[in-house]
């Protein structure tokens, strides 16, 4: 097991961070680069040239021979094309060069990345553009340069660019609101700490299962005698082999400047979690993508496979990713910190109201931001929040908002009154705000925890939605309050009005209770149960208006993303269906037939010996019946897949949800029953007992 002796020295050692910049850049160049990073201004070509040389020299000192523009296309994972630093010399040798132009812009082919019809094949040229707000780093012998990705026409083809735009939008509007409170703030940053859940399974077991290889989840599997019902894995003692993986993972992440803070066993067998320290949402997004890559690489070294699918195994918890979101000023103030003084609480309540209004008005966008074929298996399955978006704010905040709505003073148990800056406002204890793990969007002391994310998701997507929606509400608040003659009165009336209008989104009860579904419907909340049902709302007119107003997406860019997500959904289900059919025909049916043959011989031998067939005959009949059922159900699945229409993405998504998914579920039923009847030596791949309870 790795034992790091000097973590501060190790941390960020492979990152071209501010410490390195100060050491290697001339002072004037460093100041100009910092201004670009802080204000988003264009970088001067001469400055870029100096930075490129310094970056190259530093990367060479870390063993790098290549560089790559590292970007995040619509695939949901990262992409990279590596070029070496070598440049030929006149004498037939090479020298190591890297120009400012190469730093600022790259030209990868964009033809095979999803675009949702945004550009034609003959318009395949794509460009990557350096994002100086996210530090470059060295990994596996290459200098990685975080970049945005767009088409040659300037339309965005990635997830970083709209995230950066949404950050600018929320910062601009938050600064306007803060000015009303006499605060001259230049920048407000959305900050995030994404908790990452994952499974570790033995590499040999993984290699023997086509479903894990092709889809990332098990399409078959009878439940083992023991699952998670004893609750002994959660926070339990970590296996030495897993602990060795975690130690190396920490070391590799720390080298890359990733704030890996917490590690522990999760609820399900073989399930674990890593949680980082908060940072700006752009860097947090890059870091989380990098974390998932490093997890997979380090797992291989320990003879594991790291599974990031949202639901790898039936009957036990799947994996999610809690997105802890807040707003902080460049002066270090957390805008979602309740505070103790009247002015701080009035400000806090205004920002709280903006978030409540945003979640209510754009609940469909939050649901869409976490929609995927894999996550559909988790949401509402008594292991994750339901698909209905709601907010939990805790008893103290609920009492305060109720008092504001009614126009009455709020009285705590200690008789401290609250009246929006007139009476003494109560201190809101952090430890009483998070008592509902079934809530999709919960206030947790000084932040909101968005809990609907699946483990494999790129966190840029939900944070784009949150940032932009909150920016819109803050814009409306600033427009109204900037012209108010009596700010205090206007502020009180605004908060009271908006709380009354949007309190339907607040639910402090049990999200798993069936009664909540009926109540949510009565409140007029969305219940978008599947990805196929949710995604078409992406381009509802209110959503298009939101994103275009804040220059986050154009209408065409939104339409392309809806198309790409729908395609990803039905293609995922198609791959799963084809894999399931292959496993039945090539593995399960032959195993069952072989076992039937041996049972038949045992029955015949008994009869010849004058002994009744007994158990063998009964077992043979049952297995024969189930094998026939499995064969027929598999044929039906093949027919349903083959009958998929040539149609637009939305129709195909609905077809695969309505027709193919039920056919897949029908195939699994007899297969899992057969697994429990067929002798272990005959079964063609590792079972849940083998995979989840390895030695």
In whole angstroms, give the CA distance from residue 315 to residue 223.
7
Residue 683 DSSP one-character state: -
On whether the CB atoms of residues 524 and 139 are closer than 8 A, the answer is no
CA distances from 228 to 245, 271, 339 (A): 22, 10, 40
Looking at residue 45, its pLDDT comes to 86
For residue 190, what pLDDT band results from cuts at 50, 70 and 90? very high
CB neighbour list of residue 40: distance below 8 Å, 6 or more residues apart: 133, 164, 168
On whether the CB atoms of residues 389 and 366 are closer than 8 A, the answer is yes
Give the three-class secondary structure for 620: helix
Buried/exposed 432-452: b ≥16 CB within 10 Å, e otherwise:
ebbebebbbbbbbbbbbbbbb
In whole angstroms, give the CA distance from residue 33 to residue 52.
12
For residue 425, what pLDDT band results from cuts at 50, 70 and 90? very low
Helix axes 541-549, 460-482, angle to 10 degrees: 80
On whether the CB atoms of residues 249 and 274 are closer than 8 A, the answer is yes
In whole angstroms, give the CA distance from residue 631 to residue 235.
43
CA distances from 308 to 305, 498, 500 (A): 10, 39, 41
Angle at CA 180, nearest 5°, toward 283 and 408? 105
On whether the CB atoms of residues 393 and 505 are closer than 8 A, the answer is no
CA distances from 575 to 520, 569, 582, 645 (A): 35, 10, 11, 16
Looking at residue 110, its pLDDT comes to 54
Given the DSSP bridges, would you call strands 66-70 and 142-151 parallel, antiparallel or unpaired? parallel
In whole angstroms, give the CA distance from residue 145 to residue 164.
16
Beta bridge partners of 70: 146
Residue 122 DSSP one-character state: G
CA nearest neighbour of 564 among 109, 178, 211, 117: 117
* pLDDT tens sequence across 200-225: 999 999 999 999 999 999 999 999 98
Buried/exposed 274-300: b ≥16 CB within 10 Å, e otherwise:
bbbebbbbbbbbbbbbbbbebbeebbe
Asked if residue 483 has pLDDT above 60, the reply is yes
Give the three-class secondary structure for 16: coil
Q: What is the dihedral of CA 686, 689, 690, 695, to 10 degrees?
A: 170
Residue percentage of the chain with pLDDT more than 90 = 69
CA nearest neighbour of 65 among 42, 45, 38, 83: 83
CB neighbour list of residue 365: distance below 8 Å, 6 or more residues apart: 465, 469, 537, 538, 543, 546
Give the three-class secondary structure for 191: strand
Looking at residue 340, its pLDDT comes to 67
For 443: left if phi > 0, alpha if psi spans -120 to 50, otherwise beta; the answer is beta
CA nearest neighbour of 135 among 341, 245, 282: 282
Residue percentage of the chain with pLDDT more than 70 = 91
Give the three-class secondary structure for 141: coil
Asked if residue 120 has pLDDT above 60, the reply is no
Looking at residue 509, its pLDDT comes to 87
* CA 558, 560, 563, 568 torsion-angle sign: negative
* pLDDT tens sequence across 237-263: 899 999 999 999 999 999 999 999 999
User: Max alpha carbon distance in the chain (Å)?
Assistant: 104
Asked if residue 124 has pLDDT above 70, the reply is no
471 or 415, greater pLDDT: 471
* pLDDT tens sequence across 89-116: 888 787 888 888 888 887 665 555 666 5
Looking at residue 430, its pLDDT comes to 42
On the 0-12 / 13-18 / 19+ scale of CB atoms within 10 A, 609 is exposed
Query: How many CA atoms are closer than 13 Å to the CA of 478, on its beta-carbon side?
Result: 18
For residue 231, what pLDDT band results from cuts at 50, 70 and 90? confident
In whole angstroms, give the CA distance from residue 329 to residue 294.
31
Query: How many CA atoms are closer than 13 Å to the CA of 542, on its beta-carbon side?
Result: 11
Looking at residue 343, its pLDDT comes to 46
Given the DSSP bridges, would you call strands 188-202 and 304-307 parallel, antiparallel or unpaired? antiparallel
Looking at residue 91, its pLDDT comes to 82
* pLDDT tens sequence across 63-88: 999 999 998 888 878 888 898 998 88
Structure tokens at 529: 């149960």
Block residue for tokens 């001067």: 44
In whole angstroms, give the CA distance from residue 410 to residue 420.
10
Average pLDDT taken over every residue of the chain: 89
Q: Where are the beta strands (DSSP E) in 342-381?
A: none
Residue 656 DSSP one-character state: I
On whether the CB atoms of residues 456 and 308 are closer than 8 A, the answer is yes
Helix axes 460-482, 487-502, angle to 10 degrees: 140
CB neighbour list of residue 216: distance below 8 Å, 6 or more residues apart: 307, 308, 309, 312, 374, 456
Given the DSSP bridges, would you call strands 391-392 and 441-443 parallel, antiparallel or unpaired? parallel
Beta bridge partners of 144: 68, 137
CA nearest neighbour of 397 among 358, 442, 362: 442
* pLDDT tens sequence across 317-358: 999 999 999 999 999 999 998 876 544 688 999 999 999 999
Q: Write the DSSP string, 40-82.
A: -PPPPHHHHHHHHHHHHHHHHHTT--EEEEEB-BTTSS-B--E
Asked if residue 512 has pLDDT above 90, the reply is no
Asked if residue 450 has pLDDT above 70, the reply is yes
Asked if residue 301 has pLDDT above 50, the reply is yes
Which pTM value belongs to this model? 0.91
Block residue for tokens 């034992």: 3
In whole angstroms, give the CA distance from residue 663 to residue 640.
8
* pLDDT tens sequence across 571-610: 999 999 999 999 999 999 999 999 999 999 999 988 888 8
């Amino acid at each position: 097991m790795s034992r790091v002796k000097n973590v501060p020295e190790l941390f960020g050692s492979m990152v071209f961070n501010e410490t390195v910049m100060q050491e290697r850049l001339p002072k004037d160049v460093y100041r100009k680069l910092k201004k670009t990073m802080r204000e988003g201004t264009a970088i001067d070509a001469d400055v870029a040239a100096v930075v490129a040389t310094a970056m190259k020299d530093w990367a060479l000192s870390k063993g790098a021979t290549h560089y790559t523009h590292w970007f995040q296309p619509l695939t949901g994972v990262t992409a990279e094309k590596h070029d070496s630093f070598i440049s030929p010399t006149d004498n037939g040798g090479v020298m190591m060069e890297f120009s400012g132009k190469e730093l600022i812009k790259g030209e990868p082919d964009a033809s095979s990345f999803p675009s949702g019809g945004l550009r034609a094949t003959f318009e395949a040229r794509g460009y990557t553009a350096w994002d100086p707000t996210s530090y470059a780093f060295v990994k596996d012998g290459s200098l990685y340069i975080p970049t945005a990705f767009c088409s040659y026409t300037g339309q965005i083809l990635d997830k970083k660019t709209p995230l950066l735009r949404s950050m600018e939008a929320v910062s601009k509007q938050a600064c306007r609101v803060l000015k009303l409170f006499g605060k001259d703030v230049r920048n407000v940053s959305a900050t995030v700490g994404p908790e990452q859940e994952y499974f570790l399974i033995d590499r040999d077991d993984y290699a023997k299962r086509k479903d894990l290889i092709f889809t990332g989840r098990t399409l078959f599997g009878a439940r083992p005698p023991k699952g998670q019902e004893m609750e002994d894995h959660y926070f339990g003692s970590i296996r030495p082999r897993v602990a060795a993986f975690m130690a190396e993972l920490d070391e590799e992440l720390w080298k890359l400047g990733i704030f890996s803070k917490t590690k522990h066993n999760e609820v399900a067998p073989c399930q674990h979690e890593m949680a980082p320290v908060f940072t700006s949402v752009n860097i947090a997004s890059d870091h989380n993508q990098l974390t998932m890559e490093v997890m997979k690489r380090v797992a291989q070294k320990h003879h594991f496979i790291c599974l990031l699918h949202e639901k790898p195994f039936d009957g036990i918890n799947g994996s999610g990713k809690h997105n802890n979101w807040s707003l902080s000023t460049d002066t270090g103030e957390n805008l979602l910190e309740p505070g103790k003084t009247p002015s701080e609480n009035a400000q806090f309540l205004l920002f709280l109201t903006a978030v409540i209004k945003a979640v209510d008005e754009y609940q469909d966008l939050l649901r869409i931001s976490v929609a995927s074929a894999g996550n559909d298996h988790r949401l509402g399955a008594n292991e994750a929040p339901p698909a209905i978006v709601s907010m939990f704010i805790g008893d103290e905040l609920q009492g305060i908002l109720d008092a504001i709505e009614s126009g009455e003073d709020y009285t705590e148990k200690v008789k401290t009154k609250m009246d929006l800056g007139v009476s003494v406002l109560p201190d809101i204890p952090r430890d009483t705000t998070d008592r509902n793990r079934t809530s999709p969007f919960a206030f947790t002391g000084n932040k909101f925890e968005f809990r609907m994310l699946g483990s494999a998701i790129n966190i840029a997507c939900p944070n784009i939605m949150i940032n932009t929606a909150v920016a819109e509400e803050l814009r409306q608040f600033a427009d109204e309050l900037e012209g108010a003659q009596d700010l205090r009165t206007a502020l009180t009336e605004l908060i009271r009005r908006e709380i009354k209008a949007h309190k339907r989104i607040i639910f402090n009860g049990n999200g798993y209770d069936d009664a909540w579904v009926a109540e949510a419907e009565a409140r007029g909340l969305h219940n978008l149960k599947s990805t196929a049902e949710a995604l078409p709302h992406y381009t509802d007119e209110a959503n298009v208006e939101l994103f275009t107003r804040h220059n986050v997406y154009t209408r065409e860019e939104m339409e392309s993303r809806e198309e790409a997500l729908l395609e990803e959904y039905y293609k995922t289900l198609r791959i799963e269906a084809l894999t399931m059919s292959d496993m039945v025909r090539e593995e399960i049916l032959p195993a069952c037939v072989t076992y039937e043959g041996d049972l038949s011989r045992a029955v015949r031998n008994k009869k010849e010996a004058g002994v009744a067939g007994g158990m063998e005959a009964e077992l043979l009949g049952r297995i024969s019946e189930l094998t026939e059922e499995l064969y027929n159900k598999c044929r039906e699945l093949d027919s349903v897949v083959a009958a998929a229409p040539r149609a637009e993405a939305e129709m195909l998504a609905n077809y695969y949800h309505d027709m193919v998914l039920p056919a897949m579920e029908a195939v699994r039923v007899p297969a899992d029953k057969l697994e429990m009847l067929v002798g272990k030596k005959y079964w063609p791949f590792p079972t849940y007992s083998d995979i989840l309870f390895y030695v």
